[in-house]
Structure 1
Amino acid sequence: MVRNLFFTRNNFFLVLFSMFFLSCGVKQQQSIVGDNPWKTMQHIIDSVKVPSFRNKTYVITDFGAQAGGVFDNTQAFKKAIQICTENGGGKVLVPSGKYLTGPIHLENNVNLHLEEGAEILFSTNTADYPIVHTSWEGTELMNYSPLIYAYKKNNVAVTGKGILNGQANNEKWLWWCGSKRYGWKEGMPSQGDPANRVRLVAMAEEGVPVSERVFGEGHYLRPNFIEFFECTNMLLKEVKIINAPFWVIHPMKSTNVTVDGVTVQSHGPNNDGCDPEYSKNVIIKNCTFNTGDDCIAIKSGRDADGRRVAIPSENIIVQNCKMIDGHGGVVMGSEISAGVKNVFVENCVMDSPNLDRAIRLKSNSKRGGLIENVYVRNLDIGQVKESVLIIDMFYNVYGSQSGNFIPRVQNVFLENIKVKDGGKYGILAKGYKEAPIKNVVFKNVKIEKVGKAYSIENVEGLQLIDTYVNGTLVVSPK
């Protein structure tokens, strides 16, 4: 009995010691993460698995594809991809030339590779696009297939120095937005009609199952260009993407996504460059965005649908990118109801008279959501129209956007930023009295040709450290 008691006591003290040691270790780790977020970023990068493929090539012309931009190559793409995945994967090669096709559906372990000089022209005939499970402006639905679509796949890529051409213009796809700028005329239908976008949002609010939210023909909701839906280990590399109908690159509920060296040149309505949504561990690097909407917009669902899914977008990394035209360089929102956390932006160039803001956070009290831990450093900003940083918690589009879900923002850090022409404001931030924006820090920031250093409302903990506006050191507000 005494011996057993001795060992029991020893074990008890050993457990206590172990708990103390582990507790110290956890606290130390948390301290390191808090003190050096860029080390955390590197851990995320190291954890992302880039797809690898068997050394076997399947050339689409061997499956009946014909260049020239007239022949329908939909079945040739489908056959080549199917044979490739059935044989364990590899490269589906698109040789130099123009190839017309309907939507391309990717399969496991397939790398769709475009040779330099190759261009895929996507059909603008809506009849070519089957109805699939997808998403439209943050709300899931059954709608036209994205032009390139991977659904619940693993180890998939689109690579090469070729062009992906959505062929959208004011006669095809774009006018559906309902704007005269893009070819819409009075009396024509549009996405804004009550049976279309408005009905979709209402269905989500009413809790209608996604399988019953069937749209498509006659509803004028344009398809996404490239969508990875519930996928893991995805790669998009080097291709040039032009003339998109809608959002361009859309990782949806996906993990371990790399977008590397891609050029997006598309100025249509809602032509966001890259929109990670409900996604984790997304790396966007070495890319150029010249867009009709936000260059990069991190999202996590709209209103009731975002709260239903309840998956925050997290661990999003943007490195060495160039932002030209766009509503914002790197944006969080507005479809952000499930929240966003751990965003890292570094070593980017942003410059255009048609770039409205550099860093933009936007939501409202219908969206709600928590945005936290946004780290930005080493930006070279030429010209922006409105502001270097805008945090707008009263973002208003499509009419009244007031509700009972107050959005929150905390921990936004900008460091080592140089701005030649800052527009109207260095910082434009407006929060709610009951949920003020917390902990915004500018450190070593130099902004020239800006109208006002900051305009803030309901912001707590704004720190301006070594920050100069129009050549004058700016002091933090009290």
Structure 2
Amino acid sequence: MNPDKVTAFKSIVSACVMVVLTISCSKKTTSVSESDPWRRMEFIIKNLPKTNFQDKTYNIDDFGAVADGKTLNTQAFQKAIQTCASNGGGKVLVPNGKYLTGAIHLESNVNLHLEDQAEILFSLNPKDYPIVHTSWEGTEVMNYSPLIYAKNKTNVAITGKGTLNGQADNTNWWIWSGGKNYGWKKGIPSQNDPQNREVLVDMAERGTPVNERVFGEGRYLRPNFIEFFECNTVLVKDITVINAPFWILHPIKTNNMIIDEVTVNSHGPNNDGCDPEYSQNIIIRNCTFNTGDDCIAIKAGRDADGRRVAISSKNIIVQNCKMIDGHGGVVIGSEISAGVNNVFVENCVMDSPNLDRAIRIKTNSKRGGIIEDVFVRNLEVGTVKECVLKLNMFYNVYGSQTGNFIPTIRNIHLENVNVKNGGKYSIWAEGYEQSPVENITLTNVKIEKVDSIYLLKNVKNLKFNNTYINGNKVK
């Protein structure tokens, strides 16, 4: 069978599995007693399609790559990837050494594999990142290519214990954020200039077609690092990612993806570790996140654009991960308009005086969205700065964020959670009178030290089962 037919066949199989998973997980769960959500999680894991590649290797050195950290190797990467794909796929090998490149665009059936001492250095010249269909803060746009990008691909991977280095710092990409902590000073252009971020958001609100939302040069919207756009059956394993311009791992409209044993160490602005968006059946496991923003942030589009796309993120599984610095350990939102459900978090360690919250959901009446069925168990939390669990329908970071799209947050369950220092609050939950935060259950939770048990506004059906806070059993 020729490679194109193989790819098509795999896509059909993956689509069939997706239908089964969607049907099986479609029942809404209002309490753990009605069904076992962890069995649903196991079913998702068991039935997830896995990547599989031909035993063929294409060494980028054979396509003219030079490992001196100075020679631009964009063409060598692209030739190796295209040759590999045209021959039915296999492994594109990045040997030990430092390789400078612009954007890398992956193809179906290709595994980009880094040897242990291989380091890919990404160019700091924006011209090395051609305009592609991508997304920026939950809004689709024609903008700079992500540093590594795949669109409409099946059976694709990035593996190996080497390093992906975005080389971002306060002298280049990060300064575009407009943050004074990242080198910006008055008079320096940034994403915050009126013709940049605000124009994009306004275009989306007016329904401007994506192909007419052309940004790039002069607009200062930083590129994502690794983006799989409308892909299926994806693996990212073992790599280390440092110094990212913007969001780091960004599966968007992507299904059936495993992110395994990845280390993210990047403290720049908006340096979220992993942002699944409009995506389903995503497993994030055995990873370490040390970030300048949220460690993991599950997304579903911003405002009108999220409602236009209308694909919820669902069946997101986080296992055996370590969260160090970050705004939140596992976060849902704030770009959340298409909704999120069936999130499973287990066996994670979260600990840093620079980690603000362990579990967080953030939205508002401009974002809207239905966020439901979030199951968390077996967490070890050392120190968080603000709170253990924060559920906020009034998130406001960009000025006025109010509208007519009242969100829903319901069915949030924490079980077997141990916390040494919970910061200001064990639970901070705020809903609307007409849409309270509903069905929060804490079972076998122990918080040794926290300033206040909770801050609550419009919360319905909060239950504590065998939960101890500051040494006292909470009823």
Moved more, 452-461 or 281-290: 452-461
Distance in structure 2 (CA, Å) of the matches to 1:33 and 1:232: 33
For each residue in 1:347-382, what CA deviation from the matched residue of structure 2 results, as whole angstroms up to 9, or x when unmatched? Answer: 000000000000000000000000000000000000
SS in 2 for 1:70: strand
In the alignment, structure 1 residue 290 sits paired with structure 2 residue 290:
yes
Alpha-carbon distance between aligned partners in 1 of 2:346 and 2:30, rounded to the nearest angstrom: 22
Contact 1:33-1:40 within 8 A present in 2 as well: no
1:396-475 matches, within 5 Å, as 396-475=396-475
Aligned AA for 1:453? I
Compute the displacement of 1:449 (Å).
1.5
Deviation string 1:446-478 (CA, Å, 9 cap, x unpaired) is 001200111111000000111100110011xxx
Looking at structure 2, the residues matched to 159 and 179 of structure 1 have their Cα atoms a distance apart, in angstroms, of 33
What does 1:24-43 align with in structure 2 at a 5 Å threshold?
34-43=34-43
Residue 111 of structure 1 is matched in structure 2 by 111
| C-alpha distance in structure 2 between counterparts of 1:50 and 1:389, whole Å | 33
Q: Deviations over 1:373-412 (max 9, x none)?
A: 0000000000000000000110001100000000100100
Find the counterpart in structure 2 of residue 68 from structure 1: 68
Q: TM (normalized to structure 2)?
A: 0.93
Deviations 1:397-454 (A, max 9, x none): 1100000000100100000000001100000000000100110000000001200111
Which residue in 2 is equivalent to 1:260? 260
Q: Which amino acid aligns with 2:129?
A: Y
The one-letter amino acid paired with 1:76 is A
In structure 2, distance between residues paired with 1:150 and 1:447? 43
Which letter maps to 2:296?
I
Contact in 1 for aligned 2:30/2:411 (Cα 8 Å): no
Indicate the SS of the match to 1:277: coil
Which whole-Å deviations, capped at 9, do the CAs of 1:281-324 have from their partners, x for residues lacking one? 00000000000000000000000000000000000000000000
Per the alignment, do residues 32 and 180 of structure 1 end up closer, same or farther by CA in structure 2, a change over 3 Å counting? closer
SS at 2:188 equivalent: coil
Counterpart code for 2:188 = M
State how far apart, in whole Å, the 2-side matches of 1:456 and 1:48 are. 39
- For 1:168, the equivalent position in structure 2 comes to 168
Paired residue type of 1:301: G
Find the residue that maps to 1:71 and give its secondary structure. Answer: strand
Measured on the aligned residues, the alpha-carbon RMSD in Å equals 1.4
Go from structure 1 to structure 2 and tell me whether the alpha carbon gap of 1:417 and 1:33 turns closer, same or farther (over 3 Å shift): closer
Q: How does 1:76-95 map to 2 (within 5 A)?
A: 76-95=76-95
CA spacing shift, 1:363–1:257, aligned 2, 3 Å: same
> Displacement of 1:35 after TM fit?
2.2
CA–CA distance in structure 2, aligned partners of residues 147 and 30 of structure 1: 41
For the structure 1 residues 250 and 425, does the alpha-carbon distance in structure 2 shift closer, same or farther, using more than 3 Å as the test? same
Question: What is the match of residue 310 of structure 1?
Answer: 310
Q: Does the 8 A contact of 2:129 with 2:144 survive in 1?
A: yes
User: Secondary structure at 1:259's aligned position in 2?
Assistant: strand
1:47 Cα offset (Å): 1.6
Conservation of the 8 A alpha-carbon contact between 1:323 and 1:349 = yes
- 1:448 alignment partner, SS class: strand
| 1:68 partner amino acid | D
4+ long deviations beyond 2 Å: 29-35
Q: Aligned residue for 1:237?
A: 237
Secondary structure of 1:185's aligned partner: coil
Q: Secondary structure at the match of 1:461?
A: strand
Alignment partners' CA distance in 2, 1:454 and 1:213:
43
TM-score (norm 1): 0.93
Deviation by residue 1:226-260 (Cα, 9 ceiling, x = unmatched): 00000000000000000000000000000001000
Equivalent position of 1:248 in the other structure: 248
- Corresponding residue number in structure 1 for 2:205: 205
Give the Cα separation in 2 of the matches to 1:339 and 1:32.
21
Distance in structure 2 (CA, Å) of the matches to 1:359 and 1:47: 27
Deviation at 1:180, TM superposition (A): 1.1
The answer to whether structure 1 residue 382 and structure 2 residue 382 are counterparts is yes
Change (3 A) 1:151 1:458: same
Check 1:448–1:32 CA distance in 2 against 1; reply closer, same or farther (3 A cut): closer
Q: 1:33, 1:39 within 8 Å by CA — same for their partners in 2?
A: no
**Distance in 2 of aligned mates of 1:86 and 1:399:** 50
Q: Which runs of 5+ in 1 are unaligned?
A: 1-25
Q: Give the structure with higher Rg (CA).
A: 1
Shift of 1:31: 10
Count of residues paired in the alignment: 449
Q: Give 3-state SS (helix, strand or coil) of 2:334's partner.
A: coil
Q: How does 1:53-64 map to 2 (within 5 A)?
A: 53-64=53-64
The offset of 1:34, in angstroms, is 3.6
Partner secondary structure for residue 328 of structure 1: strand
